[in-house]
Structure 1
Amino acid sequence: MKNSFIRYSLAIVLAACATGAMAQQLKTTQLSAGMHLIQAEVAVTDDQREVGLMYREKMPANAGMLFVFGAPATQCMWMKNTPLPLSVAFIDAAGKIVNIEDMQPHTLDSHCSTKGVPVRYALEMNLGWFRQKNIKPGITIGNLPPLR
């Protein structure tokens, strides 16, 4: 019984550490979408993009996560271990939104940019944010970080 309790306690501590590591401190930037300002965490490395918004329970109304990709390509997002319902805008190198997809929590469905249109960024916001602000494909996102 004592060993079971110790193993259980250790598992809880390890899970908490892993979750804390997942909520890594990322650089932030202020983006613009028309007259709307967005405070976005920026995921640039493979590890940062892989973790994304996993394990996040909530996100402020005008906050999001910007994924920066190393090369122009079709990109896909998923919601593994992500409890927040999100919308994602796929954005080309010039900052123009190519398409927007809604994503449900804890799913492994792929949500991809329009095939044949290479993107360099993806911006995840709370579900419906783009629709509520009347932000559609073709609109440009301003103040994106420079590409490498």
Structure 2
Amino acid sequence: MSLAKDYRLDVEIADTAPLREYGLMHREHLQENQGMLFVYPDQALRGVWMKNTLLALDILFLSADGTILSMLRNLLPCRQDPCPIYTSGVPAQYMLEVNSGFIDKHGLAIGQTLMLDYRRNAPADTGTLF
């Protein structure tokens, strides 16, 4: 996946219900150039929670063509049940989870388009955003 100024982000792909449910749970570290791309079969309202997530995250919701539709900054790990559910606010095809502070560091804004190189069944089901 590529961002402004030709920044490359290596992403793990979560494109099945079990992979999307588990997401980044129990991870203690995420490299600066890493993230997880949640791939859905349609464009719809999306929800996310931070249960069992140990890292603070920024989340971007993307359209089918990679346009940033909405963003959530600095979601903190959930420490007690019930965990709040955060929503996209608008229908989205993809959800991108990255380290907290990523959105501001890279100057991302609603309406920007990210280039997605997503290959299902590639080694380790990974992709890049450009």
TM value normalised by structure 1: 0.73
| 2-structure distance, mates of 1:100, 1:121 | 12
Kindly provide the CA deviation profile for residues 6-60 of structure 1, in whole angstroms up to 9, marking residues without a partner as x: xxxxxxxxxxxxxxxxxxxxxxxxx111221101000000000000000000100
Q: Paired residue for 1:105?
A: 77
Q: How does 1:64-83 map to 2 (within 5 A)?
A: 64-83=35-54
Q: If each structure's helix is expressed as a fraction of its own residues, which one has the higher value?
A: 1
Aligned residues: 115
Question: Structure 1 or 2: larger strand share?
Answer: 2
> Structure 1 residues 70, 98: closer, same or farther in 2, change over 3 A?
same
My pick for the range that moved more, 41-50 or 93-102, is 93-102
Contact 1:113 1:119 in 2 (8 A): yes
Structure 2 counterpart of 1:92, one-letter code: S
CA distance in 2, matches of 1:98, 1:67: 15
CA separation of 1:118/1:39 partners in 2, compared to 1, >3 Å: closer, same or farther? Answer: same
Detail structure 1 runs of 4+ shifted over 4 Å in the superposition: none
Q: Which residue of 1 aligns with 2:115?
A: 142
> Any residues of structure 2 matched to 1:58-69 within 5 Å, and which?
58-69=29-40
- Contact residue 33 and residue 139 of structure 1 kept, 8 A: no
2:59 to 78, 83, 88: 88
Query: Is 1:50 aligned to 2:21, yes or no?
Result: yes
> What's the TM-score once normalised by structure 2's chain length?
0.83
CA distance in 2, matches of 1:136, 1:123: 14
Higher relative contact order (CA 8 A, sep 6+): 2
For the pair 1:121 / 2:94, whether they are aligned, the reply is: yes
Taking only aligned residues, the RMSD between alpha carbons, in angstroms, comes to 1.6
Cα offset, 1:121, TM superposition: 0.1
Deviation at 1:106, TM superposition (A): 2.0
Q: Whose radius of gyration is greater, 1 or 2?
A: 1
Matched letter for residue 79 of structure 1? M
Q: Which residue does the alignment assign to 2:11?
A: 40
